[in-house]
């Protein structure tokens, strides 16, 4: 989760929202990275999830399902907001958890 979330943030760092519409490789890469973050969240133990309720485990897995099964209807405004607004605190929290 941490590695792929970090990679998505780095990939989007010097970009703007409209780049998702113009750059197919960027678009596909970011979607795939978020899919992997979601897939990895489903593999986290129930103990870890219980001990870290500050992480939106269910929503993260739900995003993965939406991206995988609704691939032809992704709202890229929402995707961009997730990368810009939700991913940085998630990466920070995961870093803290893993450094304990």
Range of the domain at 93: 2-99
Tens-place pLDDT, residues 29-79: 999 999 999 999 999 999 999 999 999 999 999 999 999 997 678 899 999
The CA-atom distances, in angstroms, between 17 and each of 2, 14, 39, 74 are 23, 10, 24, 14
Contact call for residues 50 and 69 (beta carbons, < 8 A): no
Can you give the pLDDT at residue 100? 87
pTM of whole model > 0.85? yes
Structurally, the chain folds into a number of domains equal to: 1
Catalytic residues: 64, 69
């Amino acid at each position: 989760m941490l590695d792929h979330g970090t990679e998505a943030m780095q990939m989007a760092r010097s970009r703007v929202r409209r780049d998702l519409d113009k750059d197919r490789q960027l678009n596909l890469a970011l979607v795939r990275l978020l899919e992997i973050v979601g897939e990895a969240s489903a593999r986290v133990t129930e103990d870890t999830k219980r001990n870290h309720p500050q992480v939106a485990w269910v929503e993260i897995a739900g995003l993965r399902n939406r991206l995988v099964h609704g691939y032809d209807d992704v709202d890229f405004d929402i995707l961009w907001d997730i990368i810009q607004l939700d991913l940085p605190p998630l990466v920070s929290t995961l870093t803290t958890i893993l450094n304990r």
